[in-house]
Amino acid sequence: MDLDKIDINQAPPMEEAARQYYFIAECREWVKDFDEKHGRLPKSCVTTFGCQMNARDSEKLAGILAKTGFVETEKEQEADFVIFNTCTVRENANMRVYGHLGQLTPVKRKRPHMKIALCGCMMQEPEVVEKIKKSYRIVDLIFGTHNIFKFAELLFTCLESDRMVIDIWKDTDKIVENLPGERKFPFKSGVNVMFGCNNFCSYCIVPYVRGRERSRKPEAVLGEIRQLAKDGVVEVMLLGQNVNSYGKTLDEPCTFAGLLRQIEEIEGIERIRFMTSHPKDLSDELIEVMKHSRKICRHLHLPVQSGSTAILKKMNRRYTKEQYLELVRKLREAVPDISLTTDIIVGFPGETEEDFEETLDVVRKVRYDSAFTFIYSRRTGTPAAAMEDQVPAYVVKNRFDRLLAEVQNISAEVCAVHTGNVMPVLVESVNSHDDALVTGRLSNNLLVHFPGDESLIGQIVNVKLNECKGFYYLGVQEIS
Ligand code: SAH
Ligand code: SF4
Ligand code: F3S
Nearest alpha carbon, ligand 2 atom 5: 199
pLDDT at position 326: 98
Looking at 267-308, list the stretches that DSSP marks H as alpha helix, in order from N- to C-terminal side. Answer: 284-292
What is the DSSP secondary structure assignment for residue 305, as one 8-state letter?
B
C-alpha of residue 429 to centroid of ligand 1, in Å: 29
212 in ligand 2 pocket by Cβ < 6 Å?
no
- CA dist 460 and 473 (Å) reads 16
pLDDT at position 257: 98
Q: For the chain, what percentages of helix, strand and coil (3-state, to nearest 5) are there?
A: 40, 20, 35
Nearest alpha carbon, ligand 1 atom 11: 89
- CA dist 422 and 479 (Å) reads 11
Ligand nearest to the Cα of 372, by number: 1
Q: Give the amino acid at 359.
A: T
200 in ligand 2 pocket by Cβ < 6 Å?
yes
- CA dist 271 and 262 (Å) reads 13
Average pLDDT over residues 111-128: 97
DSSP 328-363: HHHHHHHSTT-EEEEEEEE--TT--HHHHHHHHHHH
Residue 180 has pLDDT above 90, yes or no: no
C-alpha of residue 202 to centroid of ligand 1, in Å: 10
Residue 107 has pLDDT above 90, yes or no: yes
DSSP 141-154: EEE-STTGGGHHHH
Residue 480 has pLDDT above 90, yes or no: no
Ligand nearest to the Cα of 302, by number: 1
Q: Name the band, by pLDDT with cuts 50, 70 and 90, for residue 445.
A: very high
Residues 6+ apart with CB under 8 A from 458: 185, 186, 187, 232, 234, 426, 427
pLDDT at position 384: 98
The minimum-distance atom of ligand 1 relative to the CA of 301 is: 8
% of residues, the chain, pLDDT over 70: 100
pLDDT at position 174: 86
Cβ distance 237 to 273 under 8 Å?
Answer: yes
- If you average pLDDT over every residue of the chain, what do you get? 96
pLDDT at position 16: 92
Pocket-testing residue among 51, 204, 379, ligand 2, by greatest number of atoms within 8 A of Cβ: 204
pLDDT at position 286: 98
Average pLDDT over residues 317-340: 98
C-alpha of residue 54 to centroid of ligand 1, in Å: 14
Q: Name the band, by pLDDT with cuts 50, 70 and 90, for residue 374.
A: very high
382 in ligand 2 pocket by Cβ < 6 Å?
no
For 23-69, what is each residue's pLDDT tens digit? 999 999 999 999 999 999 999 999 999 999 999 999 999 999 999 99
C-alpha of residue 315 to centroid of ligand 2, in Å: 10
210 in ligand 3 pocket by Cβ < 6 Å?
yes
Pocket-testing residue among 47, 48, 88, 203, ligand 3, by greatest number of atoms within 8 A of Cβ: 88
Average pLDDT over residues 133-152: 97
Strands 422-430 and 460-468: antiparallel
The minimum-distance atom of ligand 2 relative to the CA of 317 is: 2
207 in ligand 2 pocket by Cβ < 6 Å?
yes
For 446-459, what is each residue's pLDDT tens digit? 999 999 999 999 99
Closest listed residue to residue 384, CA positions, set 160, 201, 152, 159:
201
Residues 6+ apart with CB under 8 A from 51: 87, 89
pLDDT at position 213: 95
197 in ligand 3 pocket by Cβ < 6 Å?
no
